[in-house]
Chains A and B, each alone.
Chain A
Amino acid sequence: MDCGGVEITMLSEDKKPVQALQFNIRLLFWLVPVAFFALFYVLPIGSILEHIVADPGSIGKLQSVWPKIWSPLKFTVWQAVLSTLITMLIGVPAAFVFARFRFPGKGLMKILTTIPFIMPTVVVAAGFSSLIGPQGWLNVLLMNLMGLQHPPLQILNTIYAIVLAHVFYNTTVFIRVLGGAWSQLDPKMEYAARSLGASAIKVFKEITLPLLRPAFFSALLLVFLFDFTSFAVILLLGGPGFATLEVEIYTQALHLLNLPMAGLLSFVQLMFTLMLTVGYSRLNQRKSLALQPRDPIEVEKPAVNLAEKMLLWGVNLVLLLLLISPLISLAIRSILAPANNAGVGRLSLRYYTALFVNQRSSLFYVPPVEAIINSLWIGFLTITFTLLVGFFAAKTLSRRTKASRLFDILLMLPLGTSAVTLGLGFLLVFNRPPLIAGHSFVLIPLAHSLVALPFVVRILQPAIESIPDIYTQSAAILGASPWQVWRQIELPLLARSFLSGGIFAFTISIGEFGATTFLSTPDLPTIPVAIYRYLSQPGALNYGQAMAMATILMVVCALAIMVVEKLRLPGISDF
């Protein structure tokens, strides 16, 4: 009997007569994720793609259509490849350092490097421009130091700004996904190989690398898909000179109101994503070796020699510069009142206190505490949905049948799908009770779960595969109900993976991925919504309050991640 899937005759505890309570668990495990995916992904996307067929006239003639697809597609792929490569160059050493070394401030650095992932792009753009913009601190400093007349750094509205922002956002994916796997890799295998005379390079090539391959490709694919569907970064930091497929879809759908064309572009985007995930699944076909994961505490050690120390501090310095300094510049803006007549800025908390006052007694004023509660609430629901569906999906996928491999590929698609298309699809499909887009707020965490699901499945699946079948089988033979098996064996063994999956789901939810604009319900304004409200009107106070709200968002997320990471679940050290 293998784990979890086979029909089990259940014995109720108070020893009622054994009924023919044949409960096909395997079917249930299939049913939950498939139904979720069909209802909240296939249906909405299908309803948009339908428009291509329904009204091909609005798309135009074939000769004129092709350049409209080819030029954004070319740019989309190019910038995504470039961004992914550079993110990888920074992310892989960072993953290594975080997995293998113990150093002061590591916990804090790990949390801080996750924060970029949740920041709304509007404020990130503001942070970048206050740092590297023409009048940004870096340029002002350089101009003063070198006696220049003009700002030397002209990065905004270039491809560099796009790449920089993508690195800023996605390095954490490498740290979390690759670093996570690396930190659970048993170093004894490497030590053994070294003591048998293998060189460090040989050990890396023949032991570390093959074992990390799945995690590496996962991270690579996830980062690529994020860059591939990048929208706000291109729009705000790249400027109008650049258009990705996603930007074109947005313009076609919402400004030119040409849904068939938007549908066609979405289709192209979808096909490309599909191609990519099929390739990925080919690469990843081999079952990952079932290793006993180690407690990361056992794996990490302090940096001893000079090379290690240099790597350690080099990586941290780069992370500090690229990921953390824009965040700090936002926080400083939020406590820096504008210069007085003498030209000196001063520190003040007035933007924070102003947040609590409904200055214009507006109906749409968002009290900060309410925004925080709303964001957390949606975040927690997203965690619950994603872990629930994700567990069933990962369990199914770990069986590695043909059908499950196909489903694995499909599950990745939401990540490479246009958020605009998905959002519009939700509008088309969910417009009568019980689910109405814009009224039923539960659609928001559901949409977030869709995006978070591929992450969570990627994290849970290897963990599930590494649980030896013998554990669950013996428990079942000894009379444990499936529920008992789950609670007393699988849950403790999977606890760590549930935690990191939960953190990912939470960060994706808090950062509000694109589709949500179509679903947002007015009664439930979240922190990003509050930030947008302030930034959409002129005036120093509005700008300051947006920065203050963004800082609150950072702090709330850091605290939430900290709390979740501090939950040292039982059983982990007993591995």
Chain B
Amino acid sequence: MRINRHLFISWVLLILLLSSCRPKSEDKDITVLNVMTHDSFAVSENIIQLFERENNAQVKFLLSGDTGAALNRAILTKNSPQADVFYGVDNTFLSRALSEGIFEPYASNLINELSEDLLLDPSQRLLPADYGDVCINYDRAYFSAHSLALPVSLQDLTLPQYRGLLVVENPATSSPGLAFLMATIAEFGSDGFINFWKELRANGLVVVNDWESAYYSNFSASSGKGSQPMVVSYSSSPAAEVIFADPPVDDAPTASLMGKNMCFRQVEFVGILAGTKQRDLAEKFVDFVLSVPFQEDIPLQMFVYPANKNAKLPKEFSQYAQTAKQPATLDPQLIADYRDAWIEEWTAAVLR
């Protein structure tokens, strides 16, 4: 039985050893601020340290799934809030988030530094923190090798020369997919968009469920080397292709189609969760998010644009990423009222 004892002891030792590798629990004197956000949230270490040192606080981020999952989590736990601040409600979820009453108003002094067209919540419960354009990215090599002209409008995508060349994400399961659906509704209206999608379907449209599959399995210009040279992604993706190129490249292998209403502008908001016990610190954090240092950190971390007009863009962005001149927009209230119906209509027309 000696070996049994050895086994038992080594098991205990192993657990002790592993637990000694665990991060130490935080200092008691430091206030902890909990920030709930989605999985795509990212920020530089030194930027958050700035805030933490200044306020003798520790910021803990709760990455809670995609945008919908994270918001749902905040709604479900509204009676015993798990966080003080929420980052990342977007304009497709805006009205829903507001009608659930999970945010407290906060009129930050920095509001006048933010782009006016992003201020979509007059009650000032949700303040814009960043924005990005969901656009179609195309494989530059494919289009030049086939001497194919670029589509300049959404309607162009139904032309026979683009047959089978576009992959989009399912709006029921993907946030860029939903954004692109909104762009088509802005262009063709809530009566006409379904016909457009039926034509797209007849023209060999490929639909997948998530951005990862679309980009890495289907898109021909990504490392996955798929078979569609056009994909619904972000206007900043070409910049990311340069930054994360391997081996380094001089020019982006992809670019975005920027025709009128071809891109949908996604705005992300930050807000203080109702029932927070640390209102002061939460206000300071919202101010910090809207201030220039944090805002200038956003592009290279999350590949979206800062909402603060004074924030400067990094050179990869000014060189390879563009924002749409005429992005599609929809009234958040309209989105809130019809999104479920639109998604159902879309599913019936495109998937069934």
Contacts and interface: CB of A to CB of B under 8 A. Distances in A.
Contacts of B217: 125-126, 129, 133, 156
Contact of B63 (A258, A520, A567): A520
Nearest to B240: A538
Contact of B246 (A130, A350, A536): A350
Nearest to B41: A364
Given A135-B225, A257-B72, A487-B4, A364 B42 contact: yes
B247 A340 contact: yes
B351 A241 contact: yes
A475 interface: no
Given A236-B209, A256-B340, A436-B82, A540 B14 contact: no
A105 interface: no
A414 interface: no
A257 B102 CA distance: 15
B343 interface: yes
A255 B48 contact: no
Q: Is the interface of B mostly helix, strand, loop or mixed?
A: mixed
A360 interface: yes
Contacts, number: 199
A240 interface: yes
B156 interface: no
Interface stretch (A222-230, A373-381, A459-467): A373-381
Contact of A377 (B22, B45, B68): B22
B209 A517 contact: no
A239 B208 contact: yes
B246 A253 contact: no
A31 interface: no
B182 to A, nearest CB: 14
Contacts of A428: 76-77
A488 B5 CA distance: 10
Interface stretch (A18-26, A92-100, A279-287, A541-549): A541-549
B29 to A, nearest CB: 19
Contact of B42 (A236, A363, A373): A363
B111 interface: no
B90 to A, nearest CB: 13
B215 interface: yes
Contact of B69 (A517, A537, A570): A517
B4 A570 contact: yes
A183 B220 CA distance: 48
A431 B77 contact: yes
A438 B64 CA distance: 8
A522 B63 contact: yes
A253 B172 CA distance: 11
B77 A254 contact: no
B61 A130 contact: no
A569 interface: yes
A492 interface: yes
Given A125-B217, A431-B77, A522-B62, A363 B72 contact: no
A380 B18 contact: yes
B324 interface: no
A401 interface: no
A49 B7 CA distance: 44
B173 A235 contact: yes
Contacts of A487: 1, 4
A537 B299 CA distance: 13
Interface in B224-250: 224-227, 233, 237, 240-241, 243-247
Contact of A540 (B45, B73, B246): B246
Interface string A491-530: 1100000000000000000000000011010111000000
B70 to A, nearest CB: 9
A256 B245 contact: no
Given A518-B64, A523-B23, A537 B340 contact: no
Interface string B53-74: 0000000111111101101110
B212 A535 contact: yes
B63 A537 contact: no
Nearest to A439: B82
Contact-residue size bin, chain A (C-beta under 8 Å from the other chain): 35 or more
A235 B241 CA distance: 26
Interface string A130-172: 1001110000000000000001000011000000000000000
B15 interface: yes
A134 B226 contact: yes
| Among A380, A428, A537: residue with most chain B CB under 10 A | A537
Nearest to A135: B225
A197 interface: no
Interface in A378-431: 380-381, 384, 424, 427-428, 431
Interface in A349-383: 350, 358, 360-365, 373, 376-377, 380-381
Interface in A453-472: none
B246 A134 contact: no
B244 A537 contact: yes
A505 B45 CA distance: 35
Given A236-B210, A360-B301, A536-B39, A257 B68 contact: yes
B96 A257 contact: yes
A567 B66 contact: no
Contacts of A544: 223, 246
B210 A235 contact: yes
Contact of B224 (A130, A235, A522): A130
B278 interface: no
Nearest to A340: B247
Given A126-B216, A380-B18, A362 B223 contact: no
B46 interface: yes
A129 B207 CA distance: 16
A337 interface: yes
A30 B28 CA distance: 40
A518 B68 contact: no
B37 to A, nearest CB: 10
B241 A522 contact: no
A443 B28 CA distance: 23
A101 B23 CA distance: 47
A251 interface: yes
A522 B34 CA distance: 11
A341 B109 CA distance: 53
Contact of B44 (A257, A360, A542): A360
Contacts of A540: 222-223, 241, 244-246
A343 interface: no
Top-6 shortest CB links A-B:
A539-B244, A543-B223, A240-B170, A541-B244, A134-B227, A540-B246
22 contacts: A126-B217, A129-B217, A235-B210, A251-B173, A254-B72, A255-B172, A257-B68, A362-B42, A362-B301, A363-B61, A364-B63, A377-B18, A427-B73, A427-B77, A432-B80, A438-B64, A523-B60, A537-B303, A539-B244, A541-B244, A569-B3, A569-B7
Given A536-B212, A537-B303, A540-B245, 7 more contacts: A239-B209, A240-B208, A364-B41, A424-B76, A533-B39, A540-B222, A541-B244
Interface of B: 1, 3-4, 7, 14-15, 18-19, 21-23, 39-48, 60-66, 68-69, 71-73, 75-77, 80, 82, 96, 170, 172-173, 207-213, 215-217, 220, 222-227, 233, 237, 240-241, 243-247, 300-301, 303, 340, 343, 351
Interface of A: 122, 125-126, 129-130, 133-135, 151, 156-157, 235-236, 239-241, 247, 250-251, 253-259, 337-338, 340, 350, 358, 360-365, 373, 376-377, 380-381, 384, 424, 427-428, 431-432, 436-439, 487-488, 491-492, 517-518, 520, 522-524, 532-533, 535-544, 567, 569-570
